[in-house]
Amino acid sequence: MKLFGKTKTEDSKHQRVLRELIKAVGREKVLSAIEDRICYSYDGTKQKALPDIVVRPGGTSDVSNTLKIANKYEIPIYARGAGTGLTGGAVPLMGGIVFDLKSMNRIIEICPEDFVATVEPGVVTKDLQDEIAKFDLFYPPDPSSAAFSTIGGNVAECAGGITGLKYGVTRDYILALEIVLPDGSVINTGRKTLRSVTGYDLTRLFIGSEGTLGVFTKITVKLIPKPKKIETLAAYFSDRDDAIDAADLIIDNNILPRTLEFMDKMTINAVRSYTGTDIGEDVKALLLIDIDGTEESISHEMPVVENACKENKAFSTKVAETAKEREAIWAARRSISPALYNIAPHKINEDICVPRSKIKEILQKVDQINEHQTIYIANFGHIGDGNIHVNIMYNDDPGQAELAESIVNKVMREVVAVEGTISGEHGIGNKKSQFMELEISPKELAIMKRFKSFFDPKGIMNPGKMFLS
């Protein structure tokens, strides 16, 4: 499939495609120098594969014209937002054309009276959040990459984030999409209304489709009123199970925190030695809880939350009311990523999700799997959703990478056994396609593949992702 082949015919095919693309979208939007191709060869997984051409479309018609050419010559094509994905979604595994959709980054309209906004896919999620905040509105999905990932990428992977328990994930806020199909035709799914049940829900089929079905060119999102106030509580435990019980009790009290984050002992140790924070040596688990709402609702809910922690043997709790205090507490959570690299230079960051009642069980299983191993596993994440980031840290010693992979394999099996899912928010990409069959039965897999071949009969859209074959 590689375009840069040795044979003469392939070479001239490459030249023809390049000529046609330049004619269709303009010379300045088509990059083919090796320096540019290198810069679009990777994503957040550190995998690399060189594309042959990078197209920076200026609008829907550029995307459509490019897809027509790609379809005609059967050239693989990959939609790329900011290239921050964690499962390889934007990596051009089979060469071909990468769309750099960062070039389509206009906020087309914000309709405060309708609670909707329509944007191009290259808008950075936080830029959208900041813009709508001016109208006192709120777009909740908040993946930790929100400040640099794009809304298009978020929709393609159905990104989650720390506000999922109370507010849901990306899928819950997408009302309508403009999509260019592989043959270059443009479809519109959904309506700009807060509800619509006309026909099949094609919008949801495309959310989380990881660029394997079509390319989004316009995205209409739902907005909600912005909570007036946020207060943060940190609770410290000497036992992991106590923290999990406390999280359960908070929710049992009919309180849905804006965020309910958990960190285990290994994570805390890493953060402590990295940042030198004053988290005591005896802290073996911690919960980080944001409550949002009005002054009144928070003053009612925060004591309940604090009590739930104390009832479950939290030996210390800390409430932050000012932005500065909140920032200090959250700094620990934010430093996890760099801190973990102090344990070992390589990381496999899994994003398993299990029913909340199975969290204790799955963490015990993870402990057992790693019992006699030389590999460190740090667990943290969105405990309210049951979405735990299992981080398998390994070094360069021979056999370590294989060992890490085998641990991932075992963890995935246990997750599926407790009716969990292998990916809560990162997507499948090529990194997890080998585990698809664990969770999805052959029959459902066959249905998915029929959808795929219906929309993309020539298989040019993001080949090598989602499915093994």
Partner 1 sequence: MSTDWKEEVSKCSKCGKCHTVCPVFLETGDESMVSRGRISLAEALRDKQIVYTDKLRDYVYSCKKCMRCRTVCPSGVDYEVIISAMLRGVAENMGVPLLPRIIFRYILPRRILFDTMLKISSKIQRFIPMKKRGQMRHLPLLFMGKRWIPTLAKKSALKKLRETKKLKNPRMRVGLFTGCLINYIYVDIAEAVVDVLNRMNIEVVVPQGQLCCGTPSSSMGDYKSSKKLADLNREVFESHKLDAIVTACATCTKTIKMDYLRTLGPSWQPMSDKIYDISEFIEKYCGDEYEANPVKEKVTYHDPCHLLWVRGISDEPRNVLKKSSNYVEMDQAGACCGGGGIFTIIHYDLTLKMLERKVASIERSGANTVATNCPGCVMQIADGFAGKNSKVKTTHSIQILQKALVNGGIDKGDEK
| Contacting positions for partner 1 (CB under 8 A) | 33-36, 38-46, 48, 82-84, 100, 102-103, 105, 122, 124, 145, 147-149, 337-338, 341, 347
Helix, strand, or coil here: 179?
A: strand
With residue 30 as reference, give the H or E element that holds it. Answer: strand 30-31
Shortest distance (Å) from residue 316 CB to partner 1: 28
**Closest residue by Cα to residue 227 from 247, 249, 256:** 256
Nearer to partner 1, 44 or 429 (CB): 44
What is the secondary structure of 187-249 as a DSSP string? EEEE-SSS---SSS-HHHHHTT-TTSS-EEEEEEEE-EEPPSEEEEEEEEESSHHHHHHHHHH
285: tokens are 């688990």
Q: How far is the CB of 344 from partner 1 (least distance, A)?
A: 13
Q: Which is nearer to partner 1, 149 or 370 (CB)?
A: 149
Contacts of 198 (CB under 8 A, 6+ apart): 191
Cβ distance to partner 1 smaller for residue 261 or 439: 261
* Distance in angstroms (rounded) separating the CA atoms of residues 31 and 293: 48
Rounded to whole angstroms, how far apart are CA atoms 123 and 396?
38
- Whose Cβ is closer to partner 1: residue 111's or residue 147's? 147
Rounded CA-CA distance 284/314 in Å is 11
Output the smallest distance, CB 114 to partner 1, in A: 29
Q: Nearest distance from residue 31's CB to partner 1, in Å?
A: 9
Nearer to partner 1, 40 or 236 (CB): 40
For the bound state, the minimum distance from the C-beta of residue 299 to partner 1, rounded and expressed in Å, comes to 31
Residue 329: CB partners within 8 Å, gap ≥ 6?
232, 234, 288, 318, 320
Rounded Cα distance, 227 and 41, in Å: 40
* C-beta of 38 vs 468, nearer to partner 1: 38
Structure tokens at 352: 């398993």
Tokens standing for 170?
Answer: 């990306």
One-letter amino acid of 76: P
| Nearer to partner 1 among residue 307 and residue 400 (C-beta) | 400
Q: In whole angstroms, how close is the CB of 35 to partner 1 at the nearest point?
A: 5
Q: For strand 387-394 and strand 77-80, is the pairing parallel, antiparallel, or unpaired?
A: unpaired
Query: In the complex with partner 1, which residue's Cβ is closer, 269 or 421?
Result: 269
Rounded least distance, CB 216 to partner 1, Å: 17
Q: How far is the CB of 56 from partner 1 (least distance, A)?
A: 9
Question: How far is the CA of 350 from the CAs of 153, 220, 428, in angstroms?
Answer: 18, 30, 11
